[in-house]
Amino acid sequence: MGYLFLVLVLRVIKQLIQLIQVNMVQKTYLKRKDYCKVKFTFKPENAETVEILGLNSDWENSIVMSKKKDGTFTCDVSLPINSEHQFKYRVNKSEWLDEPEADKHNPNEFGGTNSVIVI
Protein backbone atom coordinates (compact mmCIF):
# COMPACT_ATOMS: atom_id res chain seq x y z
CA MET A 1 0.00 0.00 0.00
CA GLY A 2 2.87 2.39 0.71
CA TYR A 3 4.31 1.94 -2.78
CA LEU A 4 0.97 2.64 -4.50
CA PHE A 5 0.47 5.74 -2.37
CA LEU A 6 3.92 7.02 -3.33
CA VAL A 7 3.22 6.43 -7.04
CA LEU A 8 -0.08 8.32 -6.73
CA VAL A 9 1.60 11.24 -4.94
CA LEU A 10 4.31 11.42 -7.61
CA ARG A 11 1.68 11.51 -10.37
CA VAL A 12 -0.16 14.34 -8.62
CA ILE A 13 3.09 16.29 -8.19
CA LYS A 14 3.92 15.81 -11.88
CA GLN A 15 0.46 17.09 -12.89
CA LEU A 16 0.82 20.12 -10.61
CA ILE A 17 4.20 20.96 -12.09
CA GLN A 18 2.74 20.75 -15.59
CA LEU A 19 -0.12 23.07 -14.60
CA ILE A 20 2.28 25.60 -13.10
CA GLN A 21 4.43 25.59 -16.24
CA VAL A 22 1.56 25.85 -18.70
CA ASN A 23 1.58 29.63 -19.27
CA MET A 24 4.86 31.43 -19.07
CA VAL A 25 7.31 33.78 -20.67
CA GLN A 26 10.93 32.79 -20.08
CA LYS A 27 13.68 35.34 -20.83
CA THR A 28 17.29 34.38 -21.49
CA TYR A 29 19.75 37.28 -21.62
CA LEU A 30 22.89 36.56 -23.60
CA LYS A 31 26.27 38.10 -22.79
CA ARG A 32 27.59 40.42 -25.48
CA LYS A 33 24.30 40.40 -27.36
CA ASP A 34 21.90 43.28 -27.92
CA TYR A 35 18.87 41.01 -27.77
CA CYS A 36 17.15 38.59 -25.40
CA LYS A 37 15.81 35.15 -26.31
CA VAL A 38 12.23 34.79 -25.15
CA LYS A 39 10.34 31.51 -24.95
CA PHE A 40 6.56 31.82 -24.94
CA THR A 41 4.55 28.87 -23.60
CA PHE A 42 0.75 28.97 -23.65
CA LYS A 43 -1.98 26.35 -23.24
CA PRO A 44 -5.49 27.63 -23.90
CA GLU A 45 -8.41 25.23 -23.80
CA ASN A 46 -9.64 23.69 -27.08
CA ALA A 47 -6.97 25.37 -29.21
CA GLU A 48 -6.01 24.16 -32.66
CA THR A 49 -3.79 27.17 -33.49
CA VAL A 50 -2.14 29.93 -31.48
CA GLU A 51 -0.34 32.98 -32.85
CA ILE A 52 1.36 35.95 -31.20
CA LEU A 53 0.68 39.40 -32.58
CA GLY A 54 2.04 42.81 -31.64
CA LEU A 55 5.69 42.04 -30.91
CA ASN A 56 7.94 44.77 -32.34
CA SER A 57 4.70 46.76 -32.91
CA ASP A 58 3.71 44.32 -35.68
CA TRP A 59 -0.02 43.62 -35.44
CA GLU A 60 -0.26 42.42 -39.06
CA ASN A 61 2.24 39.55 -39.21
CA SER A 62 1.77 36.85 -36.63
CA ILE A 63 4.28 34.49 -35.09
CA VAL A 64 2.80 31.00 -35.31
CA MET A 65 3.37 28.91 -32.20
CA SER A 66 4.14 25.17 -32.44
CA LYS A 67 1.73 22.74 -30.81
CA LYS A 68 3.17 20.00 -28.61
CA LYS A 69 1.61 16.60 -27.92
CA ASP A 70 0.27 17.78 -24.54
CA GLY A 71 -1.62 20.67 -26.19
CA THR A 72 0.88 23.33 -25.14
CA PHE A 73 1.97 25.90 -27.73
CA THR A 74 5.51 27.31 -27.75
CA CYS A 75 7.78 29.59 -29.75
CA ASP A 76 11.13 31.29 -29.34
CA VAL A 77 11.63 34.93 -30.30
CA SER A 78 14.62 37.28 -30.10
CA LEU A 79 13.73 40.77 -28.86
CA PRO A 80 16.00 43.81 -28.46
CA ILE A 81 17.14 44.63 -24.94
CA ASN A 82 15.91 47.78 -23.20
CA SER A 83 12.53 47.56 -24.91
CA GLU A 84 8.86 46.91 -24.13
CA HIS A 85 6.52 44.96 -26.38
CA GLN A 86 2.74 44.79 -26.26
CA PHE A 87 1.25 41.57 -27.58
CA LYS A 88 -1.74 39.25 -27.54
CA TYR A 89 -2.32 35.61 -28.36
CA ARG A 90 -4.83 34.85 -31.13
CA VAL A 91 -6.38 31.42 -30.64
CA ASN A 92 -8.05 29.57 -33.52
CA LYS A 93 -7.83 32.73 -35.67
CA SER A 94 -10.61 34.42 -33.70
CA GLU A 95 -10.16 34.60 -29.91
CA TRP A 96 -7.74 37.18 -28.45
CA LEU A 97 -6.17 36.30 -25.09
CA ASP A 98 -3.66 37.95 -22.76
CA GLU A 99 -0.62 36.31 -21.19
CA PRO A 100 -1.47 35.92 -17.49
CA GLU A 101 2.23 35.96 -16.56
CA ALA A 102 3.10 39.11 -18.55
CA ASP A 103 5.25 41.77 -16.91
CA LYS A 104 2.26 44.13 -17.05
CA HIS A 105 -0.97 44.80 -18.93
CA ASN A 106 -1.80 48.03 -20.75
CA PRO A 107 -5.27 49.20 -21.80
CA ASN A 108 -5.86 49.03 -25.54
CA GLU A 109 -8.08 50.99 -27.92
CA PHE A 110 -10.71 48.24 -27.98
CA GLY A 111 -11.59 48.49 -24.29
CA GLY A 112 -9.48 45.51 -23.29
CA THR A 113 -5.84 45.04 -22.40
CA ASN A 114 -2.63 44.01 -24.11
CA SER A 115 0.05 41.93 -22.44
CA VAL A 116 3.43 43.65 -22.09
CA ILE A 117 6.87 42.07 -21.91
CA VAL A 118 9.74 44.21 -20.65
CA ILE A 119 13.19 43.28 -21.91
Cα gap 4→8, rounded to integer Å = 6
CB 23 within 8 A of CB 53: no
Q: What does the pLDDT profile of the chain (119 residues) look like in tens digits?
A: 577 777 777 776 666 554 444 678 899 998 888 999 999 999 998 899 999 999 988 999 999 999 999 999 999 999 999 999 999 999 999 999 999 989 999 999 999 999 999 99
> Which superfamily does CATH assign the domain made up of 23-118 to?
Immunoglobulins (2.60.40.10)
